[in-house]
Amino acid sequence: MRVGVRFRRPHRWLMLFLCLCGASSLGALLAVMTAAQPSASALPAMGQASSANYDESKAGNFRLPDPLVFNNGKPVKTPGEWPKRRAEILKLYAEDVYGRTPKTPRRIRYKVFDDTQDALGGKAVRKQVTIYFPTPKGEAHEDLLIYIPSNAPKPAPTILAINFGGNQTVNADPAIKLATVWIGKLPVRQQAPETSRGRDKGFDVEKILARGYGFATICYQEIEPDFMEGYLHGGLREMFMPAGQTEPTGDYWGAIGAWSYGLSRAMDYLEKDKDVDAHRVAIMGHSRLGKTVLWAGAQDTRFAMVLANCSGRGGASPWRRNYGETLHSMSKAFPYWFCPNLLTYVGRVDKLPVDSDELIALIAPRPVYITGAQDDQWADPHGMFLAAVAAGPVYKLLGAEGLDTDQMPGINQPIGHTIGFHVRDGKHAVTAYDWDQYLAFADAHLKAH
């Protein structure tokens, strides 16, 4: 069954209010609202349902779908059969979860508007690039910030992160171009304020560079709005909307799909940059952007590694678990992250033909690291572990080792091989502890080439 889903229109009164405001009071309002934007690490756990279950005994009796069984019920027996099964899962994931991704553009255009040899006190080469790519409604663009370590062999393995508040939030470097961001959840955009520089404490660029990795980043707000009916406001989903269609229906892509597409376009550029080793690019994202990097890595095999921080439901946590956030609560707070088809599974999630173990398996045999946090039960760390375990047989089939255990580790005990996993103490955030594990994982898998 394929149905269209109508989203609410929460912004109408706000638009009216904005229109009635004089220019100066509008400016003041925008300044206040922008200043109130949360940093990634401090994002509130929006959409949390007070009725959520946190009792493991009530999480439900279910079996995760087996990634090694074809849609027709036949088992996948050899590595040679995997690409066919992989294509089946990818198609189901697109049809029923994130939506179909538009074709890769044949050509991108880009402009390097900054190429500075002695950035960050001589520690890095800094480049800033605007990437332009075609859509049915004209060219879209996004800004990519890149630091390449000065004293490391080139081309450098590179971590490409997708950030929340703008490229300028990842470091206090005053030369980073200020992003154009949405005013909270209003459908109005403006340049991010100077005060937002270096505000995202989830990144320690200097530390990453000191380990010999390049660091690149794009801002999700420059790709697709993160609010209800964002598809009306000039993001990629609007630009790809077929003529005559006025709202997403069926398998039309959600915001996560659009953000993932933005990562792939950044990769299009990185492939052309001689300082970056395009065969050793890891993608990293937190929370909704952890979901995004899993989907990006699942689709785009150019990404050599995926680092999914606290991705939770809609990411590495199985839809089938009734624990913390559920499809039901998500369908109310964040329906636009997914395709409308997903919402038809509310109340019958056991009928969803795929689940997150298969999302992880789509990345195999490339390394993937999944994290949770002890105080972030909303994201269901145990569920993420179960999905990582269930993806293991695909890694094994392809000659890699997954987690290599089905015992949930204790807090702050990283485990795994080609699938890495930990639950750290503390809350929903990206911390130095998380990065220490990511960099060790990258050393083990990306430096070996």
* DSSP string covering 101-140: PPPPPS--EEEEEEEEEEEGGGTEEEEEEEEEEEETTEEE
Q: Smallest gap, in angstroms, from Cβ of residue 286 to ligand GCU? A: 7
User: Minimal CA–CA distance to 64: which of 405, 350, 410, 365?
Assistant: 350
d(CA 418, CA 400): 6
CB nearer to ligand GCU: give 256 or 278: 256
d(CA 428, CA 310): 7
Q: Smallest gap, in angstroms, from Cβ of residue 424 to ligand GCU? A: 16
- The tokens for 161 are 């992160």
Of positions 41, 128, 287, 309, contacts ligand GCU by CB under 6 A = 287
CB nearer to ligand GCU: give 67 or 202: 202
- 254 to 283: interface string for ligand GCU, x by CB under 6 A: ------------------------------
CB nearer to ligand GCU: give 82 or 93: 93
The letter for the amino acid at 210 is A
Q: Smallest gap, in angstroms, from Cβ of residue 189 to ligand GCU? A: 20
Contact between 313 and ligand GCU (CB under 6 A)?
yes
d(CA 280, CA 426): 30
User: Minimal CA–CA distance to 44: which of 230, 184, 221, 254?
Assistant: 184
Contact between 235 and ligand GCU (CB under 6 A)?
no
Q: Smallest gap, in angstroms, from Cβ of residue 329 to ligand GCU? A: 7
Handedness of CA 203, 207, 211, 213 (dihedral sign): positive
* Helix (H) and strand (E) counts in the chain: 12, 12
d(CA 55, CA 44): 23
CB nearer to ligand GCU: give 335 or 414: 335
Of positions 30, 43, 181, 390, contacts ligand GCU by CB under 6 A = 43
Asked whether the beta carbons of 169 and 134 are under 8 A apart, the reply is no
Contact between 288 and ligand GCU (CB under 6 A)?
yes
Asked whether the beta carbons of 414 and 437 are under 8 A apart, the reply is yes
- 46 to 65: interface string for ligand GCU, x by CB under 6 A: xx------------------
The one catalytic residue in 287, 311, 329, 356 is 287
Q: Smallest gap, in angstroms, from Cβ of residue 103 to ligand GCU? A: 28
Site for ligand GCU in 320-359 (CB under 6 A): 325
Asked whether the beta carbons of 77 and 66 are under 8 A apart, the reply is no
428 classed as catalytic:
yes
Site for ligand GCU in 367-406 (CB under 6 A): 378
Of positions 18, 29, 42, 45, contacts ligand GCU by CB under 6 A = 45
Q: Smallest gap, in angstroms, from Cβ of residue 199 to ligand GCU? A: 16
Of positions 65, 257, 312, 381, contacts ligand GCU by CB under 6 A = 312
CB nearer to ligand GCU: give 202 or 314: 314
- Helix 82-93 × helix 288-299 angle, to 10°: 140
Asked whether the beta carbons of 388 and 395 are under 8 A apart, the reply is no
- Rg of the chain taking only CA atoms, in angstroms: 21
Rounded to the nearest angstrom, the gap between the alpha carbon of residue 396 and the centroid of all alpha carbons in its chain is 26
CB nearer to ligand GCU: give 125 or 293: 293
Mapped onto helix, strand or coil, the DSSP state of residue 31 is: helix
Size, binding site for ligand GCU by CB under 6 A? 11
Q: Smallest gap, in angstroms, from Cβ of residue 49 to ligand GCU? A: 9
Catalytic positions, written as ranges: 287, 428
Contact positions toward ligand GCU, by CB under 6 A? 43, 45-47, 287-288, 312-314, 325, 378
